């Protein structure tokens, strides 16, 4: 370990490493013989500690807090004038969610009969009727179903394999109506703003559901 680090830190000694070990900044495993065994992770932590002391003059308290923050998933601050202290990571867009631009795209619509909707989704005619009963889908004024109805029907068919029926999906309709009302209240008739707010509402919805599932 000393051989690895003394190239960059020539004044490093065994006693200095043992001191940092005693301070809890690095915790190598011990063999049955009592010798410390440093992993690659331990060596990198030591390198971080020594660099922070030499180049940034951080006291041990700040270094300890920074290491704890990095262990919890925070990342070093970057950019001009940054001191390298840990900050929450930058948000990453969920690749499974549509962007505001994608929500604004016009999808080629279709006009489907009830039989075609059942065929395209895999649902039985009775299941299609159930979705209508719980206001999950509805035909247009001409009696035909559009692309949105087809998407809902296909999702309902996929969920039916897990015992989820139309009556269980009523909660999704109620939640969607509340989100739609919020989007309309926040944006009015601004189509671009509506798409952005809708994208954030979907992201929030998914984040809350995922967080709840992790607690189960």
The total of other beta-carbon atoms located within 10 Å of residue 195's CB is 20
C-alpha triplet 175, 147, 96: angle, nearest 5°:
60
The pair of three-digit structure tokens given for residue 141, joined into one six-digit string: 């004024």
Residues 81 and 104 in one domain: no
Asked if residues 167 and 130 have their Cβ atoms less than 8 Å apart, the reply is yes
Residues 158 and 82 in one domain: no
Helix (H, G, I), strand (E, B) or coil at 111: coil
Asked if residues 123 and 166 have their Cβ atoms less than 8 Å apart, the reply is no
Q: Which of 59, 87, 115 is the last residue of a domain?
A: 87
Mean pLDDT by 10 residues, the chain (216 residues): 92 92 89 87 93 92 93 85 83 79 73 94 94 94 92 94 92 90 89 89 89 87
pTM to 2 decimal places:
0.64
Which residue range is the domain that position 82 belongs to?
1-87
CATH code at position 67: 1.10.1660.10
Q: Burial letters for 89-123: b for 16+ Cβ neighbours within 10 Å, e otherwise?
A: eeeeeeeeeeeeeebeeeeeeeebeeeebbebbeb
pLDDT value at position 108?
Answer: 63
């Amino acid at each position: 370990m000393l051989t690895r680090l003394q190239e960059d830190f020539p004044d490093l000694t065994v006693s200095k490493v043992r001191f940092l070990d005693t301070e809890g900044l690095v915790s190598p495993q011990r063999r049955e013989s009592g010798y410390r065994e440093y992993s690659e992770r331990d060596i990198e932590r030591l390198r971080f500690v020594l660099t922070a002391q030499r180049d940034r003059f951080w006291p041990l308290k700040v270094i300890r807090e920074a290491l704890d923050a990095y262990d919890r998933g925070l990342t070093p601050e970057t950019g001009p004038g940054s001191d390298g202290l840990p900050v929450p990571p930058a948000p990453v867009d969920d690749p499974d969610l549509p962007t505001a631009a994608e929500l604004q795209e016009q999808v080629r619509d279709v006009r489907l009969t009830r039989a075609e909707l059942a065929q395209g989704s895999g649902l039985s005619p009775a299941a299609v009727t159930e979705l209508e009963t719980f206001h999950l889908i509805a035909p247009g004024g001409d009696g035909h179903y559009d692309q949105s109805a087809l998407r809902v029907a296909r999702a309902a068919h996929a969920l039916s394999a897990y015992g989820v029926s139309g009556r269980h999906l009523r909660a999704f309709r109620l939640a969607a109506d509340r989100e739609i009302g919020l989007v309309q209240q926040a944006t009015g008739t601004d189509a671009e703003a509506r798409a952005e707010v809708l994208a954030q509402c979907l992201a929030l919805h998914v984040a809350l559901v995922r967080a709840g599932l992790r607690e189960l």
